[in-house]
Amino acid sequence: MSDSATLEAPPQDAEERQPVTKKEITADHPTWCPGCGDFSVLAIYYKLIQKRNIHHEKVTTVAGIGCSSRFPYFVQAHGAHYIHGRALSFASGVSLSRPDLHVFAFGGDGDAFSIGGNHFMHTARKNVKMTYVVMDNFVYGLTKKQTSPTSPLGFKSKTDNWGAFDRPINPMKLAISAGATFVARTSHTNPKHLLEMMDLAMDHDGFGFIECLSECTEFYAGAFDASNPRKGGEYLLVPEDHDVTDEAAAYKLAGEDFPGKFGVYYQVQRPTKNALEAGVSDAAKAKFEGKKDWEVLQTTFNRMK
Amino acid sequence: MSQSAATGDDIGSGSQSSRISEAVIRIAGNSQDGIQSIGGFLARLAGRSEQEVMTMMTIPSTISGGPSIFQVRLGSGDVLSAGDEADVLLAFYQHSYENHISNLREGGILVYDSDHVEPNEEWLDKYRHIGIAISSLTVEAIGGTARDKGKNIYALGLIGRMFNLNLEKLERLINERFAAKGESVVKTAMDAFQSGYRYQSDDITNLFEFTSSEVDRSNQVVMSGNEAIGYGLIAAGVRFGAGYPITPWSDIMELLRRELPKYGGSFIQCEDEIASVSMAIGASYGGRVAVTGSSGPGISLKTEAIGWAVMAEVPLVVVDIQRGGPSTGLPTNVEQSDLNIACFGGHGDSPRVVLAAANVEDCFYTAMEAVDIARRYSVPVMLLSDQAIATRIEAFDEPKLEEICRDLTPDLTPTPTHKPYDLETETGASRHRAPGTRIEDGRYPVVTGLEHDEWGHPSASPDLHEGMTHKRRNKLKALADELPVPEVFGADSGEVLVVGWGSTTGPLYEAVEKSGNNGQAISALKLRHISPLPNGLEEIFSRFKRIYVVEMNDGGVHGYGQLAGVLRARFADPRIQGINKTDALRWKVWEIIDRVNECRNADAAETNA
């Protein structure tokens, strides 16, 4: 886009800037319950920012509504706490108009796959450049234990006292079939793996989606024990011989019984929405080389006489 | 045809031309006949001549086919509305003839395609019938394979001859219009046109000639209301938008999708209305006022997000091309029933700015103003237009683009400190600082829909909620202070003041002009700023005995419409009465005059009783 030239180089101080410290990127103390899985996602986000030495103003943190969506308040950087389910649309607006920023969107399973299901699908297929981390806890936490779109069959909630019977959404399958170009799965219980996935997602030129299992200790304690070696479970990685560009293989992997595998299921390079739109714009602008904006409009008006 | 030398039965008889100051021509056919393009040519011709022009069209809501009309009013003086009755009706089919003859004034001229229309005996005395075999003559002119194509251009030739329009200018317009399609297309069009223009009959040759205008209108641009909004947004510096297709808003998104890339911007077609408004808000947050828009149900869907922009104090322009409601309603008809949702749509106290454009030219400048207000006050601005303005074509003085175009490139200069919701500002208006701005004290803003403190962090403190609520509404009060007091059209004081907004304004002004001659003078007031209202209206109201608010919406349970409701709530003045209608057709001038007289008589009777 035309503004990229001016936007990419905001005025810098003469002296070299020091790397950001954890303290500098920490804001409010999280409102989450003790033991909530989201704490480790936040901690890894801080770590990622430090590791990549991203200065405050270079990153934007966007979220919708839900426990995990409180994320932007806890990060000392430009951020937006948007409405329920629409964080991806908002984040797309930032991403498409500001190519100089890296946009991170955070949310929960209700925000992503229920109220925001439509936007998840379309942001994935359009391949808008951003990193999206869904902290999936299989339950509505902020509203205190209702069935979520990822609650497993039989889960007893306040809205399904007898046990959930609506078939849950499989986020991995959904992302792959919608056309996401980077699809990974991780868990809050394995911070090293989580950091690795976020690192990869950030490097991905396109829509990078991570499903991060994040336990709700208050309303769905023990939900992910089967994936946690400390609780007698197994944390199994995606096999090394898995071809991440093979959509059918990725889909098959996504179909495995819980707890399934962790790692990158699918990754391909496809032009981003950002690049395609910029291409249209570059081509259109080339015809008006050297003309000021008002002169371009004047050209149009001259034909309307 | 006011000031016509020839009136009544002898109108335009023989080949001696009548000097006229204006004429209303209605062309009725089917939507695939290209009758819109006849109107477009005439409007464009007027833009290059001394005539003023206003057009009106109806398009069927069916996908293809179906009856369609285009009405053009050309005049040497100010043309304020599309005209109540037609002076000339051009009917392509029997249904066009039968359905539209009632819109032709008595003694008016009916030109019909004798290949398709069988005149009705009863009407022969009432209207002057001129039958021309338009279909077969067109085929004769341009070849046998043309079928129904080219009839419109042939008819344009006929009209050109009837009104002695500038042949050279019309031919140039046809050339320009078809040049891109290749020489053979230009030739075919020219053949059809010239054949129509040279049609030999004393019945139609040089029937009329427009008197010359006192005003030089040669430097005009010609466009529809929706085009004017699109280009107004571009002139104002908007470079990003997002939308979802819905009639009659879609033209604007198509225009912006096509045009914005030339300026380095883009317009994104989204999966739904909520994504559209959200993406636009995201881009606005990114530092440059962005636009979304819709019509009818699409506006309802956007309301939650608009409430967020109010709360988060992020600038945004939302264009609402009103159509008949509620629900799916009447997608291709006009109504002014979105004023309430524009002002009050959504939950909670959410003050926002509402502007209403009154005509095509006004669409251009109101769009610019909307962007400017959104940016300076960090607030969503609803821009109301309607189906009637959206689709009609007018010529207006070419804007001085070099002077008025704005550059809204975000300012990312580092700042020592920044409170996104500073309670100490004088006007209550916050300055939005875009992401990418370095804030040297290390405290970064979160923009949010939760009630918040001055840095955007959540707070349910009673004082803060009250303080922030006041802040969000005080900036509208500050805006009201800078708005100009609207001018009264007609006498400055008197018995009746009619108040209107949007596309009702033109017919209202014309009603004022017509009322002046019969001792029942009325004055009119157009409101462009609906929320906040400009200061000083009570002083204007005090100079009149009766105040009637004329709107295309329902008078509701209490007998007054949506703007009237806002004005009554504001001024608690029981003299403010509603004149409403919901036939989904634009106001005609005589309707307004009749309704005003009815109200006046009823009020007088009540006073005397």
Least confident of A31-40, B29-38, B80-89: B29-38
Measure B358 CA to nearest chain A CA, in Å. Answer: 21
- Determine the distance in angstroms separating the CA of A293 from the nearest CA of chain B, rounded to an integer: 6
- How much is the pLDDT for B544? 96
Q: Which of A90, A118, A296 sits opposite B279 (nearest CB)?
A: A90
Residue of A nearest to B221 (CA): A305
> Does residue B433 share a domain with residue B313?
no
B228 to chain A: closest CA residue? A301
User: Which residues of B are less than 8 Å from A301 in CB distance?
Assistant: 221, 231, 398-399, 401
Residue B499 shares a structural domain with residue B463: no
- Domain assignment present for residue B1? The answer is no
- The band of B340, judged by pLDDT with boundaries at 50, 70 and 90, is very high
B571 to chain A, minimum CA–CA distance in Å? 36
Question: Which pLDDT band, with edges at 50, 70 and 90, does B15 fall under?
Answer: very low
Cα dihedral B422, B427, B428, B430 in deg (nearest 10): -60
Mean pLDDT of A269-296: 97
Whether residue B255 sits in one domain with residue B161: no
Among A58, A67, A293, the strongest candidate for a mutation testing the B interface, having the largest count of B CBs within 10 A, is A293
pLDDT (tens digit per residue) in B379-421: 999 999 999 999 888 889 999 999 999 999 999 999 999 999 9
The answer to whether the beta carbons of residues B599 and B548 sit under 8 Å apart is yes
At residue B64 the predicted structure's pLDDT band, cuts being 50, 70 and 90, is: low
Substitution target from A20, A90, A100 for chain B, most B beta carbons within 10 A: A90
The Cα–Cα gap between A230 and A1 comes to: 49
Residue A189: what pLDDT?
97
Mean pLDDT of B326-353: 96
Residues B375 and B477 in one domain: no
Query: Which of A 143-202 lie inside 8 A of B, CB atoms?
Result: none
**pLDDT tier, A14 (very low <50, low <70, confident <90, very high otherwise):** very low
Residue B383 lies in a domain: yes
**A20 conformational bin, left if phi > 0, alpha if psi -120 to 50, beta if neither:** beta
- CATH classification of the domain holding B492: 3.40.50.920
pLDDT tens digits, one per residue of B168-194:
888 999 998 899 899 988 999 999 999
Secondary structure element (H or E) that encloses residue B174, with its range = helix B167-178
pLDDT for residue B311 is more than 70:
yes
Nearest CB among A81, A97, A119 relative to B271 is that of A119
- Per CB-CB distance under 8 Å, the chain B contacts of A86 are 274-275, 278, 305
Instruction: Determine the average pLDDT of the residues in A283-287.
Output: 96
| Count of structural domains, chain B | 4
Neighboring chain B residues of A98 at a CB cutoff of 8 Å:
286-287, 434-436
- My answer on whether B246 and B370 are in the same domain is yes
Taking residues B263-277, what's their average pLDDT? 98
The confidence score (pLDDT) of residue B459 equals: 95
Tell whether B399 and B470 lie within a shared domain.
no
Co-location of B235 and B362 in the same domain: yes
CB–CB contact A78 B290 (8 Å): no
- Determine the Cα–Cα distance for residues B126 and B346; give it in Å rounded to an integer: 54
A81 touches chain B (CB under 8 A): yes
Residue B566 in any domain: the answer is yes
pLDDT of residue A90: 98
Q: Which of B192, B211, B230 is the last residue of a domain?
A: B211
Q: How many CB atoms lie within 10 A of CB B287?
A: 25
- Domains (ranges, CATH) in chain A? 18-270 (3.40.50.970)
User: Which CATH number is B262's domain given?
Assistant: 3.40.50.970
Computed over every residue of chain B, the mean pLDDT equals: 91
Average pLDDT over residues A212-241: 97
252-291 of A, contacting B, C-beta below 8 A:
277, 280-281, 283-285, 287-288
> Chain A contacts of B312, Cβ < 8 Å?
80
Judgement on whether residues B312 and B202 belong to the same structural domain of the protein: no
Identify whether the C-beta of residue B129 lies closer than 8 Å to the C-beta of residue B175.
no
Q: In this structure, is the dihedral angle defined by the CA atoms of residues B330, B334, B339 and B345, taken in order, positive or negative? A: positive
The last residue of a domain, from among B438, B458, B482: B482
pLDDT at B11: 41
- In this prediction, residue B374 carries a pLDDT of 98
Examine residue B282 and state whether it is found in any structural domain, yes or no.
yes
- The range of the structural domain enclosing residue B536 comes to 488-608
Q: Which residue does chain A place closest to B444, by CA atoms?
A: A77
List the 31-60 stretch of A: residues with Cβ below 8 A of B: 55-58, 60
Contacts of residue B110, defined as CB under 8 A and 6 or more positions apart, other chains included, come to B88, B89, B91, B97, B101, B104, B123, B127, B128, B129, B130
In a domain? residue B444: yes
**pLDDT attached to residue A269:** 98
The CA distance from A65 to B28, in Å, is 53
Higher pLDDT, B15 or B364: B364
pLDDT of residue B22: 85
To the nearest 5 percent, what fractions of chain B are helix, strand and coil? 40, 20, 40
B contact test, residue of A100, A102, A291, A294 with most B CBs within 10 A: A294
Between these two residues, A204 and B21, which has the higher pLDDT value? Answer: A204
- Judge contact between A206 and A129, C-beta under 8 A: yes
Mean pLDDT calculated for residue range B192-200: 90
How confident is the model at residue B76, as a pLDDT? Answer: 76
> For residue range A41-82, what is the model confidence (pLDDT) as tens digits?
999 999 999 999 999 899 999 999 999 999 999 999 999 999
Question: The complex's ipTM?
Answer: 0.95
A7 to chain B: which residues are within 8 Å by CB? Answer: 410, 412, 436
Whole-angstrom Cα distance, residue B332 to residue B390? 11
CB B288 within 8 Å of CB A96: no
Q: How far is A39 from chain B (nearest CA, A)?
A: 19
Residue B590: which H helix or E strand, with range?
helix B589-608
Q: Residue B517: what pLDDT?
A: 62
Return the structure tokens found at B489.
């059209």
CATH number at residue B128: 3.40.920.10
Chain A residues whose beta carbon lies within 8 Å of the beta carbon of residue B405: 293-294, 297
**Contact call for B271 and A293, based on CB within 8 A:** no
Q: How far is A214 from chain B, CA to nearest CA, in Å?
A: 24
Residues of B in contact with A10 (CB under 8 A): 412-414, 436-438
Of B437, B453, B482, the last residue of a domain is B482
CB contact (8 A) between residue A121 and residue B231: no
For residue A94, the chain B residues in CB contact (below 8 A) are: 282-283, 285-286, 435
SS (H, E, C) chain A: CCCHHHHHCCCCCCCCCCCCCHHHHECCCCCCCCCCCHHHHHHHHHHHHHHCCCCHHHEEEEECCCCHHHHHHHECCCEEECCCCCHHHHHHHHHHHCCCCEEEEEEEHHHHHHCCHHHHHHHHHHCCCEEEEEEECCEECCCCCEECCCCCCCCCECCECCCCCCCCCCHHHHHHHHCCCEEEEEECCCHHHHHHHHHHHHHCCCEEEEEEECCCCCCCCCCCHHHCHHHCCCCEECCCCCCCCCHHHHHHHHCCCCCCEEEEEEECCCCCHHHHHHHHHHHHHHCCCCCCHHHHHHHHHHCCC
Do both B574 and B595 map to the same domain? yes
Mean predicted confidence (pLDDT) in B156-175: 89
Is residue B20 located within the same domain as residue B158? yes
Q: How close A63 comes to chain B (CA, Å)?
A: 10
Nearest CA in chain B to A29: B457
In a domain, B217, yes or no: no
State whether A93 and B278 contact (CB < 8 Å).
Answer: yes
Name the phi and psi angles at B374, rounded to 5. Answer: -55, -40
Residue B545 CB-density burial (10 A; 0-12 exposed, 13-18 middle, 19+ buried): middle
| Within a domain: B358 | yes
Q: Are B292 and B364 members of one domain? A: yes
Indicate if the pLDDT at residue B12 is higher than 70: no
Domain-embedded: residue B3? no
CA distance B360 to chain A (A): 14
Residue B36: predicted pLDDT: 81
pLDDT of residue B148 exceeding 70, the answer is: no
Is A14 at the interface with chain B, CB within 8 A? no
Nearest CA in chain A to B409: A3
One domain, residues B234 and B202: no
Residue B307 banded pLDDT, cuts 50, 70, 90:
very high
pLDDT (average), residues A108-134: 98
